[in-house]
Structures are given as structure tokens and as C-alpha cells.
């Protein structure tokens, strides 16, 4: 046997690459196989990176004592529910739908754990109240300088306050309440799907999205860009900081200011809706 033969044999033992899985075909197989099937397991395996991405983005804002493994487990449940509730014939993007379900499941787990101290929620609510008051006086969204002056703080102290209350500034479709107040259903609970479609719910969701979009347009340009890069371009806060040439902490403060402004506006909108009933 020549010196080249072992190398030739070794080369021939390399297995051929696995064929690319056709996602559309996989969904068709799953439609027939149902829950607990191999097709379902393959769909879960294929979309596991979504869980890692969503949990990773949320984890950046959490204190060290929060168990990330618990959040990952909740995210997996969200992914599984997304697969079981998704209708491939709807024409919608599964990734977008799954991100919403995964994020909602993780946030529900955080609420169950009650990891944000009540004092943080109270401080965030106070900031929102001051924002609403100043906006009514000035006719525009207050700046950080306006907020600091109204709260008898220096700008640096106000920015530190934003950093402190940032854990209470999560915002997504699942965390924005409807006009029923804090005890009302989450909008994520009334999302239309193939199992529970309602023209009323669809209209309410579209109206809420329109209200939020219009409000975002009124935010200062820097805040709009931070929200766009974070929520639509999927950049991490560190990456956004590099884009703006500032620290990640500063981007966190800008993000918190923007989210508090949105939440304050939604609280005002809900109060006005209730007043007209």
C-alpha cells in the first residue's frame, strides 16, 4: 500500500453534506404530523437562535441575580407556542411572530418573578407624571434638561435616575396595556391568529400601532434613531453606542427617556379613552 492510500481512504470516509431542509415543506409535514412530532422538533431546533437572541437582548437590562436559564426556558415555551399557533398560509413572517411570542413569554416570567422592586416602578411612574405635566405646559416633549429642572435635579442626577429605573422601561406589544388600565388584557393576548381572529381585535391592534408610530415621530431625532436601531435593526446597545460615538450607558439613558415618554403618552391616551365612555 502506498503512502497516499490512507489519505485517500480517509477522504472517502467523509460523510456528504446534509441536504438543505425546505422550510415550506417542513411546515407542510408538521401540519399533518401535529404536536410532538419529529417535524415539530425540527422546527424548534431550526429556530433556537431566535430564543438566544431575544433572551440575550432582554438580559442586557437585568441585574446579575436574575437566572438567565429560567428566562431561556420560558423563551423555549414561547417558541413552541409560536410554532403551534402559527399559520404558514397567512403570509406573515414566522420569525417576527415568534420573536413576539418568545419575548412575551420571557417578560411574563420576569413579571412572575417580580424582579423589579416596587420602588423602581414608583420612580418610573413619577418620571412619567412629570413628563405629562411638562408636555401640557410646553406643548412638546420635554428634554432631559427640562425634566431635571422640574425634578430639582442636575442633568447628571436625572441621567442617573434614568439608569436606575431602566429595568421598568421594557416596552413591547405584550407589555403595553389596553384602555382597560393595568388590570386589563395585554394586547399580545388579543393578537389575531388562525385560532382566534376578530375584526375588533385586529382594529384595536392597528389603532394602537398607529398611535405609537405617531408618537415616535414626535420624539427627538436621537431617541427615534436609538429606538429604530434597537427594535427594528436588532442592534445591541453596545453597537448603537459605537454608531453614535458615546458610551453604552448613555444609550441606555436615551432609550429609557424615549420609552418613558411613550408610556406616559399611552397612560394619558388610556385615561382620555376611559373618560369618554
| pLDDT values of the chain reduced to their tens digit, one per residue, 277 residues | 444 444 444 444 544 444 455 778 888 888 888 888 898 999 999 999 999 988 888 877 676 667 788 889 999 999 999 999 998 888 788 998 999 899 889 988 887 776 677 888 889 889 999 999 998 898 888 999 999 999 999 999 999 999 888 777 754 433 444 333 343 444 444 444 444 445 666 676 677 778 888 888 889 999 999 988 887 777 888 889 999 999 988 998 999 899 888 888 888 777 776 666 6
In our burial notation (b when 16+ CB lie closer than 10 A, e otherwise), range 235-254 reads bbbeebbeeeeeeeebbbbb
Helix, strand and coil percent figures for the chain, each rounded to 5 = 70, 0, 25
Find the CATH number of the domain harbouring 194: 1.20.140
Same domain, 142 and 79: no
Domain boundary among 89, 113, 137: 113
- Could you tell me if 95 and 51 are in contact, meaning their C-beta atoms sit under 8 angstroms apart? no
pLDDT of residue 148: 94
Burial class (CB in 10 A: 0-12, 13-18, 19+), 32: exposed
| Residue 190 resides in a domain | yes
Same domain, 201 and 99: no
Q: Which residue bears the cell 415568534?
A: 98
Same domain, 93 and 58: yes
- Domain containing residue 176: 118-275
- Which of 1, 103, 23, 11 is CA-nearest to residue 61? 103
Same domain, 30 and 139: no
End-to-end CA distance of the chain: 92
Same domain, 92 and 193: no
Domain boundary among 65, 83, 113: 113
Same domain, 51 and 133: no
| Residue 150 resides in a domain | yes
Same domain, 182 and 78: no
Same domain, 35 and 148: no
Same domain, 192 and 80: no
Cα separation, 186 vs 165, whole angstroms = 22
Domain boundary among 113, 144, 167: 113
pLDDT of residue 202: 65
| Residue 178 resides in a domain | yes
**Strands (DSSP E) along 65-180, which ranges?**
none
- Could you tell me if 63 and 167 are in contact, meaning their C-beta atoms sit under 8 angstroms apart? yes
| Residue 53 resides in a domain | yes
Same domain, 136 and 268: yes
| Residue 192 resides in a domain | yes
pLDDT of residue 184: 42
Total structural domains within the chain:
2
Same domain, 131 and 161: yes
pLDDT of residue 207: 77
Find the CATH number of the domain harbouring 87: 1.10.1740.10
pLDDT of residue 234: 74
Amino acid at each position: 500500500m502506498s503512502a497516499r492510500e490512507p489519505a485517500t481512504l480517509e477522504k472517502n470516509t467523509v460523510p456528504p453534506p446534509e441536504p438543505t431542509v425546505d422550510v415550506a415543506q417542513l411546515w407542510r409535514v408538521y401540519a399533518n404530523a401535529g404536536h410532538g412530532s419529529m417535524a415539530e422538533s425540527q422546527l424548534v431546533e431550526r429556530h433556537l437562535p431566535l430564543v438566544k437572541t431575544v433572551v440575550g437582548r432582554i438580559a442586557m437590562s437585568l441585574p446579575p441575580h436574575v437566572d438567565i436559564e429560567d428566562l431561556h426556558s420560558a423563551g423555549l415555551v414561547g417558541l413552541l407556542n409560536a410554532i403551534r399557533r402559527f399559520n404558514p398560509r397567512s403570509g406573515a413572517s414566522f420569525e417576527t411572530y415568534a420573536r413576539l411570542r418568545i419575548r412575551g413569554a420571557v417578560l411574563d416570567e420576569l413579571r412572575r418573578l417580580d424582579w423589579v422592586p416596587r420602588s423602581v416602578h414608583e420612580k418610573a411612574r413619577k418620571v412619567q407624571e412629570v413628563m405629562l405635566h411638562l408636555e401640557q405646559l410646553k406643548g412638546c416633549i420635554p428634554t432631559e434638561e427640562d425634566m431635571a429642572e422640574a425634578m430639582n435635579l442636575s442633568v447628571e442626577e436625572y441621567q442617573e435616575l434614568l439608569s436606575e429605573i431602566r429595568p421598568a422601561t421594557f416596552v413591547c406589544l405584550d407589555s403595553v396595556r389596553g384602555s382597560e388600565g393595568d388590570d386589563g388584557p395585554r394586547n399580545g393576548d388579543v393578537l389575531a391568529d388562525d385560532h382566534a381572529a376578530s375584526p375588533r381585535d385586529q382594529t384595536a391592534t392597528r389603532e394602537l400601532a398607529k398611535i405609537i408610530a405617531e408618537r415616535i415621530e414626535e420624539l427627538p431625532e436621537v431617541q427615534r434613531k436609538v429606538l429604530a436601531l434597537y427594535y427594528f435593526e436588532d442592534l445591541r446597545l453596545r453597537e448603537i453606542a459605537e454608531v453614535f460615538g458615546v458610551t453604552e450607558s448613555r444609550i441606555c439613558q436615551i432609550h429609557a427617556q424615549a420609552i418613558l415618554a411613550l408610556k406616559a403618552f399611552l397612560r394619558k391616551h388610556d385615561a382620555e379613552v376611559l373618560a369618554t365612555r
